[in-house]
Structure 1
Amino acid sequence: MSETSPIAQSAKVELWIVQWTSTVASEQLRESIPEHLGYILDLERANKVFGSGPLFAPEGPDVGAGLTILRVASREEAEALAAADPLAAAGLRTFEIRRWILVEGSMGIKVRFSDSTFIVE
């Protein structure tokens, strides 16, 4: 890839993907979800969450899995935040961390889905 290629010239935003896998039936997760959501919202307010939400099976049912994209400085920080999530700390979910370099896409406003607010940047 040459230095003049669009990818070489892109912003290359480094993010961390947390892929959550349930260790219990989704029904067992439900009572702990409010605590998990509170934790993720706190991270969002600290500007550490790029996006987060549940993953579904191809047929559509909730399988207790999820995906969180963190905006943090290192794998170690991503792992520490994931391990501190109430569902992970209680052993109800495991996680896998992957580094993601965002090279395509655009955004001009910040939308907080959790409280329906937005900021034009």
Structure 2
Amino acid sequence: MSEDNKPTALPVAEVKKASAAMLQKQLYAIFTTPTDGIGPMLENMQDHLAFQVALEEEGVMYAAGPMWTDDEQEWEGEGLVIVRAESRADAIKIAERDPMHQRQARSFRVRPWMINEGTITVRLDSSTQTFAIL
């Protein structure tokens, strides 16, 4: 409760009940942040990207990529990785396997994330055998 006795949080069960008709797909967001600037990260980038591709091939990776500065002009080394896992503890184990984290070029934090809303549109052009995510 806040100082004015207004709730500041709700139990997960209440949120799920209120959105019962929605997807309720449980995933985990790994927020990853550089620990000592860009240099150590660049040194580990090739191994990190190979790890990310391996997660994708295993079916663990939902999505991942760099996070730009608020003005969208630079990259300070932050990233976001969304994974499929049985629990937050399992998602932490996944994050710990990342070479960036093992070599302490980045630190991380894991938050549970439930997908309720959104649309993914894929366009497949048969004649050119190309696709695009719109």
Rounded Cα–Cα distance in structure 2 between residues aligned with 1:51 and 1:71: 10
Unaligned runs of 5+ in 2: 1-13, 123-129
Cα RMSD (Å):
2.2
Change (3 A) 1:46 1:4: closer
- Match for residue 112 of structure 2? 99
Equivalent residues in 2 for 1:35-54, closer than 5 Å: 35-54=47-66
1:66 positional shift = 0.3
Equivalent residues in 2 for 1:49-64, closer than 5 Å: 49-59=61-71, 60-64=73-77
Q: Report how many aligned residue pairs link the two structures.
A: 109
SS in 1 for 2:20: helix
Aligned mate of 2:80, from 67, 82, 87: 67
Change (3 A) 1:37 1:4: closer
Change (3 A) 1:24 1:4: closer
Rounded Cα–Cα distance in structure 1 between residues aligned with 2:17 and 2:111: 27
Runs of 4+ with >6 A deviation: none
| TM-score normalised by L of structure 2 | 0.73
| TM-score normalised by L of structure 1 | 0.81
Structure showing greater radius of gyration is 2
Matching residue's letter, 2:24: K
Matching residue's letter, 2:113: W
1:27 positional shift = 2.8
Rounded Cα–Cα distance in structure 2 between residues aligned with 1:25 and 1:53: 18
